[in-house]
Amino acid sequence: MLRYLNLYGLRGLRIVRGYGQYVWDINNRKYIDCHTGHGVAFLGHVNPRIVASIREQLENIVTLSSSYDHYLREETASALEKVTPRKYSYFYLLNSGSEAVDFALKVARKMTGRKKFLSFTGAFHGRTFGALSVTWNPKYRRPFEPLLDAEFIKFNDVSAAESAITEDLAAVIVEPIQGEGGINPASNEFMKALREITEERNVLLIVDEIQTGFGRTGKVWASDLYNVYGDIMLAGKAIGGGIPVSIAFLRDDIGNSISEGDHGSTFGGNLLAMAAVKASVEVLLEENVPFKAETAGLRLMKGIKEICRDIKIVRDFRGAGLMIGVELRFDPKPVLEMLQHSGILALKAGTTVVRFLPPYLINDNDIDLIISALERCLSEENARRANVGAS
């Protein structure tokens, strides 16, 4: 019997359909989806605008090498130009976040002629060999070493960055808000220091916005929160509305340094992905997605702050827009299970954080349900642990 190799922990739930901010299981029970496929369904499940764009393309042509011209490539570029920071002159389409990271690392090596990279504690950039090389968690790295030459220093430590960023580096890679690492926002001081030091020492800065980008933090890009932009910026997850796609945005001279054959991807920049990206940009702009994410995120964060104030098992809560983490004093698995039983799907970040990545579509009623469910689950677990300690 052929079996699927499942490399994620099973949640004991069979989902059969989704729409907007909700999914339904095999028993037709509805859940508010704050998992969204690790943040992918930020624009909502089965978004009508995106589905229509993909369906139209399906009925014309699905597969076409990028060796051939197609009007959709120009339309996608035109759409992206409306949301891309002016610093970038080129973009390249790939299939996944890890692939985009690998591409960026290759480009940095070619551009600088150097081989070493700098990353940070808590960083997560993916699990392919290049991306894994700059991913911090030893659990992911150790079985596959040796990897690319990368050094890790403390996240948000300006002094450490000042010492570690030297002219023998090809690039520094950073997430403005670490997602998998525990919803850890970079400080303004830290991001500005990275930009200044890398420019001063002729080192490239790669900003990984695969999870933070495309409206989730209340800005189109988390880079906008800091007014700090990398030489290369990476996007993914939400930018395809559910279709596998990632994008590397490149500074003009970097794009000009890349030659035919330096990289390739059979499915990168495929027509269905471009149809999805084009429609996703239209949704982002016409629905004022970043503002809605900011507004909903502030309401959700306010509610979380109120309920967590007196619950001892909560260590901290943080985030931006609709990228929110509640840090506990233990593995969050029991709380995630209780939330699921309460009709809320969330996910783990780091070792102790409950992570919420809902679609921008969540309304006031959804937020009230999330907050009340979280309060109930945290209170029950807090009481359970207090009783165990007392006994």
208 is in an annotated binding site: yes
CA–CA separation, 150 vs 2, rounded Å?
Answer: 38
CA–CA separation, 71 vs 92, rounded Å?
Answer: 16
266 is in an annotated binding site: yes
127 is in an annotated binding site: yes
CA–CA separation, 136 vs 194, rounded Å?
Answer: 18
211 is in an annotated binding site: yes
112 is in an annotated binding site: no
Q: How many angstroms from the chain centroid is the CA of residue 342?
A: 25
CA–CA separation, 362 vs 36, rounded Å?
Answer: 12
Pick the closest to residue 247 from 35, 32, 81 (CA basis): 81
Q: Which tokens in the block code for residue 185?
A: 């926002």
214 is in an annotated binding site: no
Looking only at the bridges linking them, the beta strands covering 116-120 and 169-174 are parallel
120 is in an annotated binding site: no
CA–CA separation, 344 vs 279, rounded Å?
Answer: 28
198 is in an annotated binding site: no
Q: Please give the annotated binding residues for substrate, written as ranges.
A: 127, 265
Q: Please give the annotated binding residues, written as ranges.
A: 124, 127, 208-211, 265-266
Q: Please give the annotated binding residues for pyridoxal 5'-phosphate, written as ranges.
A: 124, 208-211, 266
